Structure 1
């Protein structure tokens, strides 16, 4: 399939099926919706669910516009109207190749959202706005940046993220929550490990939950998949 044909199939509509979720909001008998639709103002390419217990039914959506200026939008379910509505929208350079909320099922970490594109960016999500917390770049000595194809956030240790890139590398990042300043924990990141595991572009990366789930990940490139142990 040609890229142009694929793009024609992309849609601004997001269909959200909550029929298998046990914590659906209350609604009058016989009137509870199980499938919701939300129409974004642009073609939607990426999305991810938030799993924080205090932010039920919340998603992040990434736009696909063939220009530098793109968008990320936070939407959530209004339990009074039973409709998904936009909570905030912020600018993003280029389309996001992947979006992920911090895997924080207990709500003990800052409310963070990560996106990949030209760089890995970590955002802090507030009630009314979202701000860039840190930009992670492992090639600061060059004006050239190799686009990131994907990334994964370690569920066992949310201080670890892994990125895959067209420059044949996989990079493991360590995320740090620094000192408390003005009642906000500062967040920064550093490179823990960078591996050249492929001869060509790396298309995806995923951490494993096996063996403790912290020190093993897989990456995939052209016809090849590598399983890598970090320790």
Structure 2
């Protein structure tokens, strides 16, 4: 998929109001890189089931049911790595000792048995401390190195759109005019320095506004804050 095609897919994802359309658009975008299955989900803490945390499932039904019933999320090395990193990673980077951790090995082996030999995961960390991810699997991934950044972006927008549609309550406090202005500039690709020079305020002040907006939008990163503001149509770049 060319960069512009993927950006067009993101534009469509953030404007649809049907979770099935988010699922279909995300699946179509991921298929360009060989991915055949994915899940968009929150990650439960110990003792909790993942079932109530799943936002959208593009998994085969058999795998979904087995994963939920067996509480695989608590031994899945991919899911567990999400608690320790905010950076996207290939499943092979979720290393573990196959001899000492046989339950983790079983999860990965069973995933491979149904056609998910390889995968890529985009972790999500929310302002309230909760975790989530979009995890995608394939028989064989077909993606150039630079696609990692594009899939990171796609993952953020798909995750937050799915989250918004599942929990549409506008319980976010309104952004201030300055926060709206800064997020709008960020949405069109301006750096903190660019915004500082344009608005005539310090970069430290810019960071403070991003942090305040992030708390209101329940996000942890600048990119997530922009994505969520776009989802709620609080900004129009």
TM-score with structure 2 length normalisation?
A: 0.21
Q: Which structure shows the bigger proportion of residues in strand conformation?
A: 1
Q: Which structure shows the bigger proportion of residues in helix conformation?
A: 2
Larger RCO, structure (CA 8 Å, separation 6 or more): 2
